[in-house]
Structures are given as C-alpha cells and as structure tokens.
Structure 1
Amino acid sequence: MNASHTTATRSPLQLAALVMGVVFLLVGVLGFIPGITTDYGAMRFAGHESGAHLLGVFQVSILHNIVHLLFGIAGVALARSWAGARNFLIVGGAIYALLWLYGLLIDHGSPANFVPLNTADNWLHLILAVVMIALGVLLGRRAAATRR
C-alpha cells in the first residue's frame, strides 16, 4: 500500500490514536534531551530522587521516559486498526486514570513514587485520561454507527 492510500482509509479514531502515539514518542525523546529537560544531570533511572524536569515542570526519570516511548510505540502500532486504536485510547486512558489516582494517593517523597510523579504530572495524567477515554468512546461510536 502506498502512503496516500493508507492515510485516506484511516478513520478519525485511528488518526486520534496515531496522534496520541506520536505525542507520547515525542515526549519520551524530549525527556532525554538536556535543556528541554532541566537538571538533566540529576536524572535517575527511577525513584523520587530524580531531579530532572521535562520543560522545567514535569518530573521525569529514565523509567518515566521509557514508559512514554513504549506507550507511543503501542499507540502508533495499534492505530493501524480500528479496534486497536479504540482499545489504545480507552485502555490507555484508564491506565492514565489509575496513574493519576496513584499519584494522588502516594507520598511524593517516598519510595512508592518510583516513576516519579509530581503535582504537574498528576494534572497531566488526569487530562490525558479524560481526553483519551473521550476520544475512544466518542470517535468509536461514530465509526461504529458509520459501519452499520
């Protein structure tokens, strides 16, 4: 298949999953770039001791960046099919909702904060959860209705 044919047959749901996947890939890569990630030298593999912050705001670690990269790879791969895209958005959104709850419940200065997470991460995770689930449900309904 050529690229124009693939693009023309991609549903809005698949496009949304693809865009989210690419954004996660971009965030994962940016987390490894000094300057874009402040206090880069204070980055740790994992744990609340990691002092690096993506864009000077979001606390990151090597593990955190790897998770973003893996999430991005999953989004791009699953966007190839309608069901995969819907599952990525809804299940991925549910994972981010759980991560948001986890971030609210743990002490950010404790070993339980292994990802690590800060308040800015918690807000972003809530927004990601709502947006991803909404996209998966709303665009999934439209595509299902169109297929009938």
Structure 2
Amino acid sequence: MVRTFALVVGIVFLVVGILGFIPGLTTGGGEYLLGIFAVDATHNLIHLLVGALGLAAFYWDRARLYCQVLGVVYLAVGILGFIPALVFGEKLLGIFAVNLADNLLHLVVGAFAAYLGFAPQATGRRISPTH
C-alpha cells in the first residue's frame, strides 16, 4: 500500500506540475489550476519535485520514508496556510501561491501520507494467542 501510494502520488503530482505550466488550464489573475487551486511557477516546480521523489521512492523502495517526510511537510504546509499572518498576497511565507482548496488538499494528502508512513508495518506473519 505504501509503495502504491508513492507511485500514485508521484504520477499525480508530476501531471499537476506539468498542467500548471500549460496556458489555458490556469485561470484568473492569480492563476488557478482548473479554476480551483492557486498555483504559480514555484508551486508547479514543487509539485514536479514531489512527483519525481514519489516515483524515485517507489522504484528505490523508499516509499515509507517518502510518506513520512511528505506527511510531516504537507501537514505543516496545510496548517501554516490557515495562519493569515503567514500568507502574503496569497503566497505562503511569500514563497508559493495557496488558497483554501490548496490548504485542504495539503492536509488530506499529508494526513494520509503520515498515516501510511508511521503506521506499524504488517509483517505478514500471524501470531498465535499462545505463542
């Protein structure tokens, strides 16, 4: 499940990162991907990086570590995005574009990644009650 998550997140984030650079798929003065998610060049590059790391984690069997790091970072970014003093002109810490939809998505992805990354691993062995 952890490797599959890394693969799927890797592919999705690569696609989202690419789509963010395609004129016509972003709308409005502040650039909204599909009219919903605030994006800019920095945010798109972050998506490409997260996607590439997801694929690398899948292929190099580091998916659990990927989920742990992604979970912590995305939960932090999602929480920070809700603190008005840290958002300057729709840019979190003045670095990349965020809005409510981004913050909620970051929290969902972060929570799921953290759950997969930090949950005890199933060993596939059954322990008998009398062991």
TM-score range, shorter chain: 0.7 to 0.9
Partners of 2:118 and 2:79 in 1: CA distance: 21
| Corresponding residue for residue 107 of structure 1 | 87
| Corresponding residue for residue 8 of structure 1 | none
TM superposition shift of 1:60: 0.4
1:84-99 alignment to 2 at 5 Å?
A: 84-99=62-77
The gaps in structure 1 that reach 5 residues or longer are 1-11, 43-50
TM superposition shift of 1:36: 1.9
1:104-139 CA-partner distances (Å, limit 9, x unpaired) = 12234276332111111111111111111122234x
Which of 56, 60, 64 is the matching residue for 1:77?
A: 56
| Corresponding residue for residue 129 of structure 1 | 110
Partners of 2:40 and 2:71 in 1: CA distance: 21
Tell me which protein shows more helix as a share of its residues: 1
Q: CA-atom RMSD, angstroms?
A: 2.1
112-121 or 51-60, which moves further after superposition? 112-121
Q: Is the 8 A contact 1:29 1:65 kept in 2?
A: yes
**Shift in alpha-carbon separation, 1:62–1:110, aligned structure 2, 3 A:** closer
**Shift in alpha-carbon separation, 1:103–1:113, aligned structure 2, 3 A:** farther
TM superposition shift of 1:21: 0.7
**Identical aligned pairs, as a percentage?**
40
- 2:18 aligned with 1:19: no
TM superposition shift of 1:67: 0.4
- 2:38 aligned with 1:38: no
TM superposition shift of 1:101: 1.8
1:78-113 CA-partner distances (Å, limit 9, x unpaired) = 11233x100111111110011112211223427633
- TM-score with structure 1 setting the length: 0.74
The gaps in structure 2 that reach 5 residues or longer are 127-131
Greater than 6 Å deviation, 4+ residue runs: none
- Counting matched residue pairs gives 123
Q: Is the 8 A contact 1:17 1:75 kept in 2?
A: yes
Letter of the 1:69 counterpart: L
